[in-house]
Amino acid sequence: MGESSGGNLLIIGGNEDKQGECIILRKFIAMAGGREARIAVVTTATEFPREVGDEYRSLFTEFGAESSNILFIANREAANDRHNISEIEQSSGIFFTGGDQLRLTSILGGSGVDAAIRRAFRRSTIIAGTSAGASVMSDTMIVDGSSSDTPTKSMLSMAHGMGLLEEVVIDQHFAQRGRINRLLAAVAQNPHILGVGIDEDTALIVAPDGMFEIVGSQTVTIVDGKAIIQTNISESKPFDPLALTNVILHILPSGFGYDLKRRMPYISKTK
């Protein structure tokens, strides 16, 4: 379980450092080829595509990328535009900005750009996403849900993501927005799926073999429900509190990693 279907993923919890050492964004450029990096910035999720796109383009250029192009894909017509498809095909790194993850899947899903992204990923092009761009990486994504209420069956809505990472559900801005309860609710609905909550200015790098390492200033929370003994999810009413016993929880900062196949954390060789 938990394998990606192609190259590396860089999944960012949002609000990554853009003024200091910029460890995460610099890591993305390095993994995309350094001075030979050709970056495609996909701004579909955001309501402010020009402002957000210009900011990332300036940063990636400053970090030494050979080129950084913004793709303004705001509708299905643009998602099938041959120029946008060509930009994806020629890139060595694809970056999804934050915003609304449902905009990403509803506009890109099944389009020519979507197909080009998947072909690029199979060729080992690195794909990165922050905030909403992180949520869409998995095959199941959280679309909406309360961050503060007691876990209940009705507290969140989920939809299909892009499916670049299998059998995982990702939540972002995790500790900063108190989202542990909604990740528990997601795992309760299907304990086979691993819950991954990523804090701001923190990312996980997922290798094709299902190994990932944490980078950044905060932590990644892993919720593993595979060993759950008791749960009331099937018989509870929509607003009844959930019962869950024997949930496994890991809190992992930079310098740690996680084996998605074995469901085991480890200390990585480099911080």
**Residue 30: what are its φ and ψ, rounded to 5°?**
-60, -45
Contact 12, 198 (CB under 8 A): yes
Cβ of 125: how many Cβ atoms within 10 Å? 24
The answer for residues whose C-beta is within 8 angstroms of residue 9's C-beta and 6 or more apart is: 126, 127, 128, 137, 164, 165, 205, 206
250 catalytic per annotation = no
Q: Which of 4, 68, 111, 131 is an active site residue?
A: 131
Q: Which of 200, 213, 254, 268 is an active site residue?
A: 200
The whole-angstrom distance between residue 195's C-alpha and the CA centroid of its chain comes to 12
Cα 118 from Cα 128, distance rounded (Å): 13
Cβ of 236: how many Cβ atoms within 10 Å? 16
138 catalytic per annotation = no
Element (H, E) at 121: helix 112-122
Helix ranges (H only) for 162-268 are 180-189
268 catalytic per annotation = no
Q: Which of 91, 92, 111, 173 is an active site residue?
A: 173
Residues annotated catalytic, as ranges: 131, 173, 200
